[in-house]
Amino acid sequence: MQALSTSTPVAVIGAGAMGSGIAQVAAQAGHQVFLLDQREGAAEAGRQSIVKQLQRRVDKGRIEQSALDALINRITPVNQLDDLASAGLVIEAIVEDRDIKRSLLTSLEQVCDDDTILATNTSSISVTALGAKMKNPSRLVGMHFFNPAPLMALVEVVKGLATSDAVAQCVYATAAQWGKKPVTATSTPGFIVNRVARPFYAESLRLLQEQTTDSATLDAIMREAGGFRMGAFELTDLIGHDVNYAVTSSVFNSYYQDTRFLPSLVQKDLVDAGRLGRKTGQGFYNYAEGAQKPLPATTEKANSVADTLIVEGDPGPLAPLVKRLAASGLNIIERDGSGRLRFGDAVLALTDGRMATERAAIEACNNLVLLDLAFDYTNTTRLAIAVAGQASEQARIDACALLQKTGLAVSQIADRPGLVVMRTVATLTNEAADAALHGVASIGDIDLAMKAGLNYPEGPLRWSDNLGFSLVHTVLTHLQQSYGEERYRPALLLRQNRFAGKGFYS
Active-site residue identified among 92, 121, 126, 156: 156
What's the rounded Cα separation, in Å, for the pair 35 and 11? 6
3-class secondary structure, 191:
coil
Active-site residue identified among 31, 144, 241, 473: 144
What's the rounded Cα separation, in Å, for the pair 227 and 463? 12
Q: In terms of Cα–Cα distance, which of 74, 62, 65, 67 is closest to 30?
A: 74
Active site residue 194: yes
What's the rounded Cα separation, in Å, for the pair 244 and 33? 31
3-class secondary structure, 147:
coil
Active site residue 144: yes
Q: In terms of Cα–Cα distance, which of 339, 342, 350, 279 is closest to 306?
A: 342
What's the rounded Cα separation, in Å, for the pair 424 and 256? 23
- Asked if 216 contacts 296 with a C-beta cutoff of 8 angstroms, the reply is yes
CA atoms within 13 A on the CB side of 224: 18
Active-site residue identified among 121, 123, 367, 411: 123
Active-site residue identified among 187, 194, 204, 244: 194
Strands of 346-350's sheet in order across: 331-335, 308-312, 341-343, 346-350, 368-371, 382-387, 409-412
Q: In terms of Cα–Cα distance, which of 379, 368, 378, 317 is closest to 343?
A: 368
CA atoms within 13 A on the CB side of 177: 17
What's the rounded Cα separation, in Å, for the pair 156 and 189? 13
**Is residue 2 packed enough to be buried (19+ CB in 10 Å), middle (13-18) or exposed (0-12)?**
exposed
DSSP H helices, 155-263, are 165-177, 193-196, 198-209, 215-220, 232-239, 241-254
The residues annotated with a catalytic role in the active site are 123, 144, 156, 194
